[in-house]
Amino acid sequence: MPGVTEVSLQINGQSHQLKLQPWVTLLDALRENADLTGTKKGCDHGQCGACTVLCDGDRILSCLTLAVMKDGSEITTIEGIAKDGELHPLQKAFIEHDAFQCGYCTPGQICSAIGMLNENKAKSRDEVKELMSGNLCRCGANTNIIDAIMEVKEGGNHE
């Protein structure tokens, strides 16, 4: 196919060789080419955070990122957060704090929270709220989401 580029991505610990047109977003490559549909398409404009994934450990908006830009990168989606059948501490905290209602934003919220905690910039609840402000919950579970993140932050178990 003319105009196709091969992109090599390490996704959730597995190597993927994807043949993509250069304008395909990372979000669409994950959902349509790697069959990983946990990452959600929200606004497609980088305004809601539903598409947040981890790229080389940093949180990024996959709807604003061309897949070819991340050739050779390690991508972690919500499907790669749990290890050996054990939920990540943030996933457990989201359940314990009822930090979701419809659940649509949850994958992006969890990936963003992991990236934010790894940045180690948030020292207070208000700073956590500010640094998570790019991830919207339209159902109003924001307080519970911050409660879950704070539990994990204060416990120091977010890797």
Percent of the chain with pLDDT strictly greater than 90: 93
Q: How do 58-61 and 14-20 pair as beta strands? A: unpaired
Query: Domain map of the chain by residue range?
Result: 5-80, 89-155
Give pLDDT tens digits for 57-111: 999 999 999 999 999 999 999 999 999 999 999 999 999 999 999 999 999 999 9
pLDDT of 2 strictly over 90: no
Q: How do 5-11 and 14-20 pair as beta strands? A: antiparallel
Does the domain spanning 89-155 belong to CATH 3.10.180.10?
no
Greatest Cα pair distance, the chain, in angstroms, is 52
Residue 114's CB is within 10 A of a number of other CB atoms, namely 25
pLDDT of 129 strictly over 80: yes
Q: What is the pLDDT of residue 3?
A: 86
pLDDT of 116 strictly over 90: yes
Q: Which two tokens stand for residue 24?
A: 């395909």
Q: What is the pLDDT of residue 85?
A: 93
Q: What is the pLDDT of residue 155?
A: 86
SS3 36: coil
CATH class for the domain made up of 5-80: alpha beta
- Tokens 């934010």 correspond to 116
